[in-house]
Structure 1
Amino acid sequence: MHVQEWLETVPAAAVYAVVGLIIGLESLGIPLPGEIVLVSAALLSSQHEGINPVILGTCATVGAVVGDSIGYAIGRRGGRPLLAWLGRKFPRHFSEGHVAAAERSFEKWGMWTVFFGRFVALLRIFAGPLAGVLRMPYWKFLIANVLGGICWAGGTTAVVYYVGVVAESWLKRFSWAGLAVAVLVGLGSMLMLKRKAKKAQAAQHGRERESEALEPVPAGE
């Protein structure tokens, strides 16, 4: 069943709860389609008066901020062993290459990685846990987390809602359009990050081989 069709069958309060919960779990570090659910719910709010876009955007923002904060706390407590465990559980999302690429982003951009990571599918999933593992100061993380959550969740809700209001008749016939755009954007960002992850992994292996080659041989051998 289409996500939007399913959302139409549940009460407004349940829509708010589902959106906040899915986005919160995704931000915590669990690979879930938070963006697809948000776009579908925002599009639904433009077609049904029972769903308030302001409440929807607020719930999405709260879910994003709280989920990321919990992910940060788990990452700070779990450290590197947590990343190794996530890599075994979700190898497509937490592979060594993906983690290495994300670490390079944190080293280069710092707290802005948390902010802009909200708009990139894979970074959105583990920006919180990875920030905790890397011991980013919490006040920096919190500022970037709140601003990123407001801009992404609130901004997405507002844009999709107003597009739906302006083009309601068109969207009724092509309700897949908004969902398709979100999926394409998500896939594009995922492919881009995978490409960067492969390059980072190759570079890391190259450095390891160089260090092994330069390692001094014991005198007795």
Structure 2
Amino acid sequence: MHVDEWLQSIPAIWVYALVGVVIGLESLGIPLPGEIVLVSSALLAAKGVVSPVMVGVCASVGAIVGDSIGYLIGKKGGKPLFDRLGRRFPKHFGPAHIARAETMFQRYGMWAVFFGRFVALLRILAGPLAGALRMPYWQFLVANVLGGIAWAGGTTAVVYHLGVVAEQWLKGFSWVGLVVAVLFGIGTTLWLKKRVAARAVAEEVSARSA
């Protein structure tokens, strides 16, 4: 079966459900590749398999609901919750990760929740940590909703248009276009993520030395 035919055979509802569930679980505090799922789904939208609007909506809803549940879990579990998670997932919830995230929250407050949506570490920790630190829920909710929509909608729109352009350039080689678009989209996302994370670390070091 040709790649285009195979892609067209994927039920759109499966893609939407996958986007919402994976991003929701990641936002709740479970280390999952939500960003990669979102980028891949946006590229499928560029191929005409699914609607880019529905991808953005499902991603936004998953992000907002997941973060809200994470907030409630963090508020109930408090700091001991992160001690347990640190022992189980040291690469994501180790003492250094938690300390860095706490510094960001204490320094930036609501902005840490908003911009944390664009950083892998804070995207996982934002909800539970905001709850554990007793951030007022209305502040968290405002930053959570705006950040979730900006991240999910913005990422979907950018990757979708990149995919459309790539498809036009490589129209005669549909499978090559798909592979190139996926790799380009994921590579660009990972590069931007590393740049933002490196900048956050640099600001933290600068603040400590000041």
> Could you say whether these structures have the same fold, taking a TM-score greater than 0.5 normalized by the shorter chain as the test?
yes
Structure 1 length normalisation: TM-score? 0.80
Question: Identity percentage over the alignment?
Answer: 60
Aligned partner of 1:145 in structure 2 is: 144
Aligned partner of 1:67 in structure 2 is: 66
1:26 aligns to 2:26 (yes or no): yes
Instruction: Show the 5 A alignment for 1:159-174.
Output: 159-170=158-169, 172=174, 173=177, 174=180
Q: 1:24 to 1:144 in 2, by over 3 A?
A: same
Q: 1:8 to 1:34 in 2, by over 3 A?
A: farther
SS, match of residue 30 in structure 1: coil
Query: Larger radius of gyration, structure 1 or 2?
Result: 1
How far 1:161 moved relative to its partner? 1.1
Aligned partner of 2:105 in structure 1 is: 106
How far apart, in 1, do the equivalents of 2:196 and 2:124 lie? 13
1:180 aligns to 2:179 (yes or no): no
Q: 1:7 to 1:81 in 2, by over 3 A?
A: farther
SS, match of residue 92 in structure 2: coil
Gaps of 5+ in 2: 1-5
Supply the AA of the counterpart residue of 2:193.
G
Aligned partner of 1:3 in structure 2 is: none
How far 1:195 moved relative to its partner? 7.5
Supply the AA of the counterpart residue of 1:157.
T
How far apart, in 1, do the equivalents of 2:138 and 2:90 lie? 30
Aligned partner of 2:132 in structure 1 is: 133
| 8 Å contact kept, 1:12–1:51 | yes
Between 1:83-92 and 1:183-192, the stretch displaced more is 183-192
Q: 1:60 to 1:122 in 2, by over 3 A?
A: same
Between 1:186-195 and 1:24-33, the stretch displaced more is 186-195
Supply the AA of the counterpart residue of 1:16.
Y
Supply the AA of the counterpart residue of 1:75.
G
Deviations for 1:133-171, whole angstroms, at most 9, x for unmatched residues?
000000000000000000000111111112222332346
How far 1:185 moved relative to its partner? 3.0
How far 1:189 moved relative to its partner? 4.5
Gaps of 5+ in 1: 1-5, 204-221
Say what the alpha-carbon RMSD is for the aligned residues: 2.3
| 8 Å contact kept, 1:87–1:94 | yes
Between 1:34-43 and 1:158-167, the stretch displaced more is 158-167
Aligned partner of 1:116 in structure 2 is: 115
SS, match of residue 23 in structure 1: helix
Between 1:184-193 and 1:86-95, the stretch displaced more is 184-193
| 8 Å contact kept, 1:57–1:157 | yes
Q: 1:25 to 1:196 in 2, by over 3 A?
A: farther
How far 1:188 moved relative to its partner? 4.5
| 8 Å contact kept, 1:20–1:62 | yes
Instruction: Show the 5 A alignment for 1:37-76.
Output: 37-48=37-48, 50-76=49-75
More helix by share: 2
Deviations for 1:88-145, whole angstroms, at most 9, x for unmatched residues?
1110111111111111111111111000000011100111000000000000000000
| 8 Å contact kept, 1:30–1:125 | yes
Tell me the matched-pair count: 194
How far apart, in 1, do the equivalents of 2:21 and 2:197 lie? 23
